[in-house]
Amino acid sequence: SIVLGMISSYAYFKGKVITGATFLFWSGIFDLCDGFVARKNNKCTKFGAVVDWLADKWVDAWILGAIAFTYTNPYIAIWAISASMLHTFIKPVAYAEIGYEKRNKGKIIDPLENTGFFGRPETLMSVLLFSILERIIPGSIKLGIYFIAIATTLSLGHRIYYLYKNYASYEE
C-alpha cells in the first residue's frame, strides 16, 4: 500500500487528480486486505501492527502534502499534515500515559477508538470525493484540503476534550 500511496501522491503533485485518486483507492484496498489476511491466518504481530500504522501515516502525510502544496499553499499543507498526525499520535501518547484495556486480534482496544469523528477513513474518503468533484467543479480539491484540515482539527479537539474530561483529575 505504501508504493501505491506514493504513486498517488506523485500524481496529485503533478496535477493528475483522477490518477492520484485511483492509486489512493487501491492503496486503501491493499491496506485493508493486509490486516484482514493477517487476522484470518492468525499471523498478527505487534511488529506488523506498528509497521502498518507507520505506513498509513507515511502515505497520509505524502498525500495531504502533495495535494495541499499543489492546490493551496505550504501553510495549509503544514496545518493539514500536523492535524492528521496529532489526531493519530494522541493515541499512543494516551496508551503510554493512561494505558489501554486489551488487544483483540492485534488491535489495541482503547477509549479513543470511538472518540473523534474525522479520522483516517474519513480523510481518505474526503480526498476521493473532492478529487472526483475536481473534475466537475474545478477548485474542489482545494476546498477539500481546507475541509480536511478543519474537520481533523475539530476531531482532535474532541479527543483532547474527552481525555480532559476523563483523565484530568489529580493523582493522589
Q: What is the residue extent of each domain of the chain? A: 2-166
Give the residue-averaged pLDDT of 112-136: 92
Read off the DSSP letter of residue 172. -
Per DSSP, the residues of 110-168 read: -GGGGS-S--HHHHHHHHHHHHHHHHHSTTHHHHHHHHHHHHHHHHHHHHHHHHHHHH-
Name the nearest CA neighbour of 66 among 156, 145, 152: 145
What is the CATH T-level fold of the domain 2-166, as seen in this structure? Four Helix Bundle (Hemerythrin (Met), subunit A) (1.20.120)
Distance CA(106)–CA(102), nearest Å, equals 10
- The answer to whether residues 136 and 107 touch, using CB atoms and an 8 Å cutoff, is no
State residue 106's pLDDT score. Answer: 64
The pLDDT of residue 142: 95
Q: Is a pLDDT exceeding 70 seen at residue 127?
A: yes
As a whole number, mean pLDDT of residues 88-113 equals 78
The answer for residues whose C-beta is within 8 angstroms of residue 145's C-beta and 6 or more apart is 64, 67, 68, 71, 72, 76, 80, 130
pLDDT over threshold 80, residue 109? no
pLDDT of 105? 67
| pTM score, whole prediction | 0.87
Arithmetic mean of pLDDT over the chain = 90
Question: Looking at residues 61-83, what average pLDDT do you find?
Answer: 93
